[in-house]
Amino acid sequence: MDWADHYAEDPISVISALSMLAKAATGSGSPIQLITVAGLALTIVAFGLAIFQVLQATVQSRNIKAHETSLRAIASSLSTRYIGVFPEYLSTVIGLIDRAKSDLLIVNDNPVPAYFSSPLTWIDYRRSVDMKIHSGVAVTLISITDAQRLRRMRDQFIMSPEEWPGWCERNKKLIDTFMIQQYPDEATKPIQPDRFMAMLVETQKRLTADLFAHATRVEADAIVTLQVWIADKKEAVFTIETNAANSLSHGLYTSDPEFVAALYAMAELYRTSWTP
């Protein structure tokens, strides 16, 4: 127990010590002196109480931090846990990909996540997948056809002509970055909803073809409702979406063997013939 813990648990000792100092300093004297001393004593007591409150707050803060540390340790040790919303959970996905040693299965209707919404995260994700493909890890991608991709994109970015200007204004920085990186010749031109949608689909298709050129690819002619990354059949990240339009995707991590096996079995259901 340090000095903060000692005095936080025994505030009387603080006040008593300060009172003794006051008595030693004043001794006996006239009524005016006594009034002065009384005022000094009250000041000392108030000061002592203030010190006590500070010390108590210090101890409470330490206890709270200790509890937070313990809770984080417990959460990280759970076999299945919540890891945030998109694109936050992609950092966990990237870590899972980096740990894959022999087998990496990806089931996703967007094989190149965050290329529009978080370009720097997309760069990290692309690097991790590319390193695994070129290091000999068996990477399999199960995704959707072009027709399904367009349908999915329209569901995600659906909006009326009246909503389009406001959406562009709210996402101006993302749109500008996307246009400069992917369509520099059109970066300064006004953009319409249909053209923007076509750009997103074209970019997703091109980036997917480039990244997974040397991986095994399977395309399902249906909306892929399961979004999952499975490394070595030992650990996985999967997502749950709140709704189709303007969806919010929530990520969860699991290393539970039975859970991972179930996710892998569900992913296998999407395997169909793929034509490059």
Encode pLDDT of 151-179 as tens digits.
777 777 766 778 889 989 999 999 999 99
Give the tokens for residue 165: 């200007």
Q: How confident is residue 80, by pLDDT bands cut at 50, 70 and 90?
A: very high
pTM summary value: 0.70
Q: What is the pLDDT of residue 226?
A: 87
Domain residue spans in the chain?
3-77, 80-268
Label the pairing between strands 216-220 and 228-231: unpaired
* 263 has pLDDT over 90: yes
Choice among 91-95, 206-210, 248-252 with the minimum mean pLDDT: 248-252
- SS3 of 161, please? coil
Rounded to whole angstroms, the Cα distance separating 274 from 209 reads 13
Q: What is the pLDDT of residue 74?
A: 47
Q: At what angle do helices 172-182 and 119-134 cross, to 10 degrees?
A: 40
3-state helix, strand, coil in the chain (%, to 5): 60, 15, 30
Q: What is the pLDDT of residue 154?
A: 73
Domain 80-268 has CATH 3.40.50.150: no
Contacts of 2 (CB under 8 A, 6+ apart): none
Strand order in the sheet with 228-231: 80-85, 249-254, 235-241, 228-231, 103-107, 138-144, 216-220
Q: What is the pLDDT of residue 105?
A: 97
Q: What is the pLDDT of residue 33?
A: 56
Q: What is the pLDDT of residue 213?
A: 96
Q: What is the pLDDT of residue 12?
A: 54
Rounded to whole angstroms, the Cα distance separating 124 from 190 reads 30
Q: How confident is residue 275, by pLDDT bands cut at 50, 70 and 90?
A: very low
Identify the CA nearest to 249 among candidates 267, 228, 235: 228
Q: Please write the tens of the pLDDT for every residue from 217-246.
A: 998 877 778 899 999 999 999 999 876 555
Q: What is the pLDDT of residue 250?
A: 94
Integer distance in angstroms from the first to the last C-alpha of the chain?
A: 69
In the block, which residue shows the tokens 């006040």?
15
* 97 has pLDDT over 50: yes
- SS3 of 117, please? coil
Q: What is the pLDDT of residue 100?
A: 98
